[in-house]
Structure 1
Amino acid sequence: MRQAYKVWSGIAAGVFCLVAATDLSGRGVTPPAGTVASSSSLPASSSTAPAAPAVAGSSAGGGSTSARVVEVIDGDTFRLASGDEVRVLGIDSCEAATPGGRRATDAARARLLTAPVTLAAQPGVDRDRYGRMLRYVSAGGGDFASAMVAMDHTSIYTGGRNDASPTVQATLRRIDTNGRTCGTTTTAPTTTRRTATPSPDADRPRSALPAAPRTPTREPAAARSGGGYYANCSAARAAGAAPLLRGQAGYRAALDRDSDGVACE
């Protein structure tokens, strides 16, 4: 009898332990210190991969727009299909009429005319005093200004206030290791402005305009009348009037080549 009681008591205790263990596992009890939780109980990671480096234009903040370039004026200026003229922030290419300027213009055409470009504004900066849009430019998947200053026809802008952000300027300065080599302007500008507005890029070298031809001084009508006017020194000598002294009838500056006051010596 006593032995049967012990057997049934052992069976009851085993059933109780089994039920208790099942209940505890359903409640998600925290494992005691010193134990390792299974990987299925760890929370999912919320970390993300670092973003790709931003180009110079996007680092300045503000939105960006896509646009199509229809004309490249020089290495740092171009015109959009909308009619707006854009000046690239932060850089200064050689004048278009110089050898370096022609290289810069060709490089800009190769990058800007093949596909739409992305324009980004510097906060607080919109247009210069000539009405040109001041923008950072991305073309062909890269920063246009960075690509241009790496070559010898373009450098960082130093001709006045540079409206690019300090961060962009520092980046361009690191890339611009060779400055710019423009060469000599080969032809004088063939166009003139309608107003007296100064050049949009006054810092660039400009070729001097050719000197206006001197117009010979016309003799007074009184000096040409009668026998007091000689077409040339041969006529004066034939008339027996040579040499002619300043103040005499027939003397004129055109006949006095050395301007010593004596003509047809």
Structure 2
Amino acid sequence: MGGVVLVLLTAGCATQVQQSRPVAVEKPAEDTPVASSATVPPAQLDIKVTSIVDGRAVMLSDGSKAEVSGLAQPGPCWAEAAGSFAKAMLLNQQVRYDRTTGALSLADGTDYALLALGNGAGRTAGTPTPAQKEAEGAAQRVPMGLWGAPCVGKETLETSTPPPPPPPPTTTTTKPKTTPTTPKPVFYATCDDVRRAGKAPLFWGQPGYRVELDANRDGIACDPRYGFR
């Protein structure tokens, strides 16, 4: 009877010892790097516009000339306006220029050809893309830029024969000299000022338009569709 009890006690002690034996646990390495999401570097801008040749050609900071594909050579009637638009949008700005396709885009990715066509500062040439046709058509429907007065879409102004000069007066009269009055330039500091004046939105070429009021540089300043700055 005692032997059996002894065996049972021995077995119980063995079981208790086995259960209290420590189990090795592998410690995680402290130097293990923690996975993190990859950070995409910002797009690198290629080059800068140093001067404007005309509405479709510019000089770049590497000394080369860039001609924008899809735009026609500016006609005499609207060449000055096209050059002014290019100067306002591109001069001293960083751009991307694809020498293979002739595509010129602003730092934010805006296609300059579409921007010029949509504001009437250029017309299509060659085989325009559907997007270029749509932008040109939008300017024609307003009409704005070269599609409005005085060019109405023509390369040169139509000249008519001036009327004959009036006959000389029978008596000599001295007319007082009049000093021509120069209209005061229109300036709006903010889009709130434009809104209070009832002039919003301002299109490129209108009095008071400034690039600083045109947040997305689409030729429309203080556009109510995108809020006021």
Q: TM-score, normalised by structure 1?
A: 0.39
The TM-score, its normalising length taken from structure 2, stands at 0.43
Larger of the two Rg values belongs to structure: 1
